Amino acid sequence: MVRFAARNYTICARGPEKLPKFKKSSSRPVHQQDLREQREQQEQVQPRLEMRGMEKKKRRYRCSYRSERRLNAQGYQFIAGVDEVGRGALCGPVVAAAVLFQKRPRFAGIKDSKQLTALRRQKLVPRIEKVALSYGIGIVSAEEIDRVNIYQATLKAMRLALQQLTPAPDFILFDGLPVRGLLTPCLSIIKGDMRCITIAAASIIAKVTRDNLMQSYSAMYPMYDWARNKGYSCKSHFTALREHGKTSFHRNSFRPVHTDNSQFNLPGTG
């Protein structure tokens, strides 16, 4: 909050001269009026500041090769982009993908996989795989997520994806998630899947891979509607958990699964 200090008024008298008499007024003192005017001005400015904040939140990033170009200028040749999908889901695996471009192919409308339609993602995957120098996919099951925790499982999925790249990258770009302990130089970029084409390409491959897996699981257990919710939290998923219990694809270490539905199990699912 911005605070305004009141003005100090000092009247000095010379010698025996009398101070001038001021006519009494029913209105507030001048300095209080000034404060009120300042508050009114502040109230008028505040909504504009809030609107500017909203504009920043809605900022749209431009997906480009800017980060890759800077790294190329520093001497790095094989720059990989890595992203994951499924960390926040209640069931199914966490999937990571790594993509390595030698050149900088042009993709019309490529951006974060979550901002693309399912059809657009499906069409982009074969093109990305065709022009990529190399790509890899890492998948870690719900069972292993429960055993090691979701953070460690995500790191393992990323490592599995990176191990499939040939040649090995000399620099790795990650989307947001800080990764420690790597010998290869790396950088985590906030909103990287919206700003970096190599990361965006990895996010698209990871998203399509996991969505296809959830589609196949949904054919086995259609009551959970995984074909649409992809295993994430939603009303239909919670309703199915209450009515049918959990499956072997659910993550028991996630609170919505083990807290409310631990007493339920589908026959043969454990």
Place 12 in a pLDDT band, splitting at 50, 70 and 90.
very low
Least confident range from 17-26, 76-85, 143-152, 158-167: namely 17-26
Per-residue pLDDT, 4 = 33
Domains of the chain, earliest start first: 66-217 (3.30.420.10), 221-261 (no CATH)
Per-residue pLDDT, 181 = 80
SS (H, E, C) the chain: CCCCCCCCCCCCCCCCCCCCCCCCCCCCCHHHHHHHHHHHHHHHHHHHHHHHHHHHHCCCCCCECHHHHHHHHCCCCCEEEEEEECCCCCECCEEEEEEEECCCCCCCCCCCHHHCCHHHHHHHHHHHHHHCCEEEEEEECHHHHHHHCHHHHHHHHHHHHHHCCCCCCCEEEEECCCCCCCCCCEEEECCHHHHEHHHHHHHHHHHHHHHHHHHHHHHHCHHHCHHHHCCCCCHHHHHHHHHHCECCCECCCCHHHHHHHCCCECCCCC
Per-residue pLDDT, 61 = 76
Q: Greater confidence, 66 or 52? A: 66
Place 256 in a pLDDT band, splitting at 50, 70 and 90.
confident
Q: Which of 2-11, 112-121, 151-160 ranks highest by mean pLDDT?
A: 151-160
Per-residue pLDDT, 22 = 42
Per-residue pLDDT, 263 = 43
Per-residue pLDDT, 11 = 35
pLDDT in tens, 144-202: 999 999 999 999 999 999 999 999 999 999 998 878 888 999 999 999 999 999 999 99
Q: Greater confidence, 167 or 60? A: 167
